[in-house]
């Protein structure tokens, strides 16, 4: 907080308070460390690649891999949420809720299975995986209706949307990479541009350095806060909603 401009620091402090800012900073640290690790893995340093090693794969040219990884992550988190909800229902002896939570897991995996089969053009009635996916969807629907009644059918689109919500992480990653590439391209063009005189060329270089520092600094701030905000939303909405109930007493 001490590195923010005085006016901005005062505004943030007024909203959150010093302790709130410290808590927010600690909360963002794991995400920042993960982002650094991914940058090293993909050999992406502010939109540039180091020449002495190759990244795992190019996130821009092979974005489909990232989408699949994000989809698997979403399926895993939704499954974990339903699993915790089922465990809570079991220990609280809520059998119908337990049935609905298990049905949610089956439905989610069935939809994911059909989606993957369609993507890889392997969906067919004679395919065992296709039959298992359809059976999981049917059994999941039966469990959901048995546990929550017809009202439970309204949550089906919510299950699918919660899994797909994790794909936004890929959009955030690609937006940051593309913004860094644009800044680097503009900066490099001004560096190598032919000025009418040495003085003009020096001015271009100074402007390019300002664009580089300010632009990448802005991109860095977005890279810290945007994934943290979206990640918190995914945890509190898509994940916690499967099992958490705020019914505690102070």
Convert the pLDDT of each residue in 121-164 to its tens digit: 888 878 899 999 999 999 999 999 998 888 888 888 889 998 98
| Residues 81-123 pLDDT 10s | 999 999 999 998 999 999 999 999 999 999 999 999 998 888 8
Question: How many Å apart are CA 138 and CA 124, to the nearest integer?
Answer: 17
Total number of domains constituting the chain:
1
User: 250 versus 62: which is more confidently predicted?
Assistant: 62
- pLDDT at position 76: 93
Residue-range definition of the domain harbouring residue 155: 63-165
Question: How many Å apart are CA 227 and CA 37, to the nearest integer?
Answer: 14
> Does a structural domain hold residue 120?
yes
DSSP string, the chain: -TTS-HHHHHHHHHHHHHHHHHHHHHHHHHHHHHHHHHHHHTT-BTTB--TTS--S--TTTTHHHHHHHHHHHHHHHHHHHHHHHHHHHHHTT-HHHHHHHHHHHHHHHHHHHHHHHHHTT---TT-HHHHHHHHHHHHHHHHHHHHHGGGGGGGHHHHHHHHHGGGHHHHHHHHHHHHHHHHHHHHHHHHH---SSHHHHHHHHHHHHHHHHHHHHHHHHHHHHHHHHHHHHIIIIIIGGGT-------
> Does a structural domain hold residue 79?
yes
> Does a structural domain hold residue 4?
no
Phi-psi region of 50 (alpha: psi -120 to 50; beta: other; left: phi over 0): beta
> Does a structural domain hold residue 94?
yes
> Does a structural domain hold residue 77?
yes
Question: How many Å apart are CA 175 and CA 70, to the nearest integer?
Answer: 15
| Residues 207-238 pLDDT 10s | 889 999 999 988 888 887 777 778 888 888 88
| Residues 11-70 pLDDT 10s | 556 666 667 777 777 777 887 888 888 888 888 888 888 888 888 888 888 888 888 999
């Amino acid at each position: 907080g001490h590195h923010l401009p005085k006016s901005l620091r005062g505004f943030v402090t007024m909203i959150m308070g010093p302790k709130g800012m410290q808590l927010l900073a600690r909360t963002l640290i794991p995400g920042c460390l993960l982002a650094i690790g991914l940058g090293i893995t993909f050999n992406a340093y502010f939109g540039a690649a180091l020449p002495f090693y190759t990244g795992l794969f190019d996130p821009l040219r092979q974005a489909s891999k990232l989408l699949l990884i994000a989809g698997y992550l979403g399926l895993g988190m939704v499954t974990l949420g339903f699993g915790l909800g089922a465990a809570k229902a079991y220990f609280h002896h809520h059998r119908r809720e337990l049935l609905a939570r298990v049905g949610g897991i089956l439905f989610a995996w069935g939809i994911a299975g059909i989606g993957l089969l369609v993507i890889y053009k392997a969906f067919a009635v004679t395919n065992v995986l296709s039959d298992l996916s359809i059976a999981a969807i049917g059994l999941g629907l039966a469990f959901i209706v048995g546990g929550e009644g017809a009202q439970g059918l309204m949550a089906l689109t919510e299950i699918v949307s919660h899994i797909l919500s994790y794909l936004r992480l890929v959009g955030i990653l690609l937006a940051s990479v593309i913004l860094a590439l644009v800044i680097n391209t503009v900066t490099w063009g001004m560096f190598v541009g032919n000025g009418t005189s040495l003085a003009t060329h020096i001015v271009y270089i100074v402007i390019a350095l300002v664009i580089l520092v300010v632009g990448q600094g802005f991109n860095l701030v977005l890279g810290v806060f945007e994934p943290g905000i979206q990640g918190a939303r995914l945890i509190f909405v898509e994940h916690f909603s499967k099992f958490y109930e705020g019914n505690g007493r102070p």
